[in-house]
Amino acid sequence: MVGAGVLSLPYAMAELGWGPGVAVLVLSWIITLYTLWQMVEMHEMVPGKRFDRYHELGQYAFGEKLGLYIVVPQQLIVEVGLGIVYMVTGGKSLMKVHDLVCKSCKPIKQTYFIMIFASVHFVLSHLPNFNSISGVSLAAAVMSLSYSTIAWSASIHKGVQPDVEYGYKAKTTSGTVFNFLSALGNVAFAYAGHNVVLEIQATIPSTPEKPSKKPMWRGVVVAYIVVALCYFPVALIGYWMYGNSVKDDILISLEKPVWLIAMANMFVVVHVIGSYQVQHLVCIVVGLLLMILSPIGGLRQIIIDAKTYKFYQGPGVVILILSWVITLYTLWQMVEMHEMVPGKRFDRYHELGQHAFGEKLGLYIVVPQQLICEVGVDIVYMVTGGKSLQKIYNLVHKDGGKNIKTTYWIMIFASCHFVLAHLPNFNSISGVSLAAAVMSLSYSTIAWGASVDKGRQADVAYGYKATTTSGTVFNFFTALGDVAFAYAGHNVVLEIQATIPSSPEKPSKGPMWKGVIFAYVVVALCYFPVALIGYYMFGNNVADNILISLEKPTWLIIAANAFVVVHLYAMPVFDMLETLLVKKLHFSPSWMLRFVTRNL
């Protein structure tokens, strides 16, 4: 459970700061413990079968072929990345031992120590399986506890450094943001355990009366208490003693007592040797997403080194493009999974969740996340609709109109939904949906067209708005949420595909995927001009709704805001709630159920 990544936690704290750092450490501990519980529960969720590998879970969830395509590439990316990090960590530790023991010796490049470390793996890699390295793995477990204890105790022995500083190291705001993302990757890397949890549970005897998940979960809880006792002291004490001058490996920052630090580094070498052979996916969901943040932080240096840096500077363009690519890829996954089980079509997200995780666990995992997202989206849509109505009023009554609060406009907008909400299903609002599709294209085109017409503002500025580093970081994450919110389509893709005729010879995924490609070309033609032209014209003074920043031509802006109002509705939430009430709680589908549920 205790990985070599614990040594980089003080360095991560230096990039995060005291406030966010402690919060990230605690949240990571809680989230990874929760995802471990999910793994333990899923190991025997199918009676008579035990899932011993991640790809087996993937194949069960997505099909024999598609499961491999989805899971294995992600596994390989993470495993190869972990292998590289562990090679470098082992090489650095060997180099530290050499420098401590032989201070007057000729310096040897770190590359050579990594090669020496790799030569040991050349032997171990030819051992057939996990059982063949059980002795090394046992030693690795002891070593991990040992060097963690040495790391924080030796830091206390050395004391707080006289020149210690706790501010962010980067001199620029963008540097601070990307270092923050890299630190999140370091924290995610440190929380190991998921990589072998399925294999470990497979060794525990199991019967229907005494399933393996109970003793396994008790073991996980004990292990994670040990993790907390190792990780938190190393991270907090290491950062307290060295501040932002701490090395990316806390043992590198330590010099005395020489014998103890040399021994700790050898412990790291032994631990990494034992762990290197058994690295799998760090975490199915949370770990993988956080690990992606680290390469994003490194992407900054690639952009800086490019000749076109001045054109591409800043992460905005990169995030826009990455979001487009990633959401298109996940849409492809949804299209493929719709009919992955012969004779069955998954029309809702919770149906996929139940197929993947079981009837009960699938609902617990999927439905809460759906509700959080859908309710959040509806709240944002209500506010956006209300603001658009207010903008129309202000444009029409510039001279003598009474000032009306935004709250009242939101309530007026909500009253329209009170009527639409009682329509029974998606088909009942097909006319509104068609109008919404036309409206979305219209107001997007008006947004960037009117921005071009207005021209670049005289006082335009492109710097970050926040005056503090912490404010900039949190604004950055808020902006990521705004970008994610903009890329819609996943919320109704299964329902749309369900309306397409399908046969074994001509499955629905063919025409559906063509439609998705066409739609995403249109998305690119709408989103990129609005984002880039809007920011170019208004800079950091742009309002959170680009149409709010525009005033003329009045008639066109009024039309655009009216288009936004028509575009918004909350039918997906109502449909999901009623489906659950009818199928799971056995309510009779009727106008009374619809009236009570949607009004509440």
Domain check: are 321 and 273 in the same one?
no
Domain check: are 489 and 371 in the same one?
yes
The candidate with the shortest Cα–Cα distance to 547, out of 316, 319, 389, is 389
| Interior angle at CA 384, CA 381 and CA 458, nearest 5 | 145
Work out the widest C-alpha separation in the chain, in whole angstroms.
86
pLDDT in the model for residue 533: 83
Domain check: are 221 and 322 in the same one?
no
Q: Is residue 306 part of a domain?
A: no
- Quickly tell me which residue has 């067209």 as its tokens: 449
Rounded Cα distance between 420 and 438, Å, is 19
Rounded Cα distance between 130 and 594, Å, is 56
As given in the structure block, the two tokens for residue 335 are 């299209």
The total domain count for the chain is 2
Looking at 319-328, 374-383, 475-484, 557-566, which range is the least confident one?
A: 557-566
Domain check: are 289 and 366 in the same one?
no
Q: Is residue 589 part of a domain?
A: yes
pLDDT in the model for residue 306: 43
pLDDT in the model for residue 289: 41
Rounded Cα distance between 462 and 452, Å, is 17
pTM: 0.49
Confidence of residue 595 (pLDDT cuts 50, 70, 90): low
Domain check: are 282 and 334 in the same one?
no
Average model confidence (pLDDT) for the chain?
72
Three-class DSSP category at 2 = strand
As given in the structure block, the two tokens for residue 547 are 């149409």
Domain check: are 472 and 565 in the same one?
yes
Amino acid code (one letter) for 187: V
Residues with Cβ within 8 Å of 334's Cβ and at least 6 positions away in sequence, in order, are 490, 493, 494, 497
Q: Is residue 307 part of a domain?
A: no
Enter the DSSP assignment of 106: P
- Quickly tell me which residue has 């490609």 as its tokens: 517
pLDDT tens-place string over residues 272-286: 444 443 333 333 333
pLDDT tens-place string over residues 64-101: 888 888 877 877 776 666 667 767 777 777 787 777 66
Domain check: are 280 and 374 in the same one?
no
Q: Which domain holds residue 474?
A: 315-599
Rounded Cα distance between 9 and 417, Å, is 49
Confidence of residue 489 (pLDDT cuts 50, 70, 90): low
pLDDT tens-place string over residues 374-406: 777 777 777 877 877 777 777 777 666 677 888
Domain check: are 396 and 494 in the same one?
yes
Q: What are phi and psi of 190, to 5 degrees?
A: -70, -30
Three-class DSSP category at 588 = coil
pLDDT in the model for residue 556: 55
As given in the structure block, the two tokens for residue 32 are 């990874």
- Among 255, 277, 301, the domain boundary falls at 301
Task: Answer whether 264's CB lies under 8 Å from 154's CB.
Answer: yes
The more confidently predicted of residues 38 and 284 is 38
Name the β-bridge partners of 191.
2
Task: Answer whether 188's CB lies under 8 Å from 28's CB.
Answer: yes
- Among 301, 323, 346, the domain boundary falls at 301
As given in the structure block, the two tokens for residue 43 are 């190991």
Q: Is residue 310 part of a domain?
A: no
Number of residues written out for the chain = 600
Other beta carbons within 10 angstroms of residue 374's beta carbon come to 18
Looking at 226-240, 478-492, 530-544, which range is the least confident one?
A: 478-492
Rounded Cα distance between 273 and 139, Å, is 10
Q: How far is CA 526 from CA 137, 452, 533, 544, 595, in A?
A: 54, 14, 11, 17, 37
Amino acid code (one letter) for 533: I
Residues with Cβ within 8 Å of 517's Cβ and at least 6 positions away in sequence, in order, are none
pLDDT in the model for residue 42: 84
Looking at 195-199, 240-244, 452-456, 529-533, which range is the least confident one?
A: 195-199
Q: Is 159 left (phi over 0), alpha (psi -120 to 50) or beta?
A: left
The secondary element (H helix, E strand) that includes residue 579 is helix 571-584
Q: Is residue 561 part of a domain?
A: yes
- Among 301, 324, 341, the domain boundary falls at 301
Q: Which 3-state string (H, E, C) describes 153-182?
A: HHHHHHCCCCCCCCCCCCCCHHHHHHHHHH
As given in the structure block, the two tokens for residue 109 are 């490049």
Domain check: are 177 and 271 in the same one?
yes
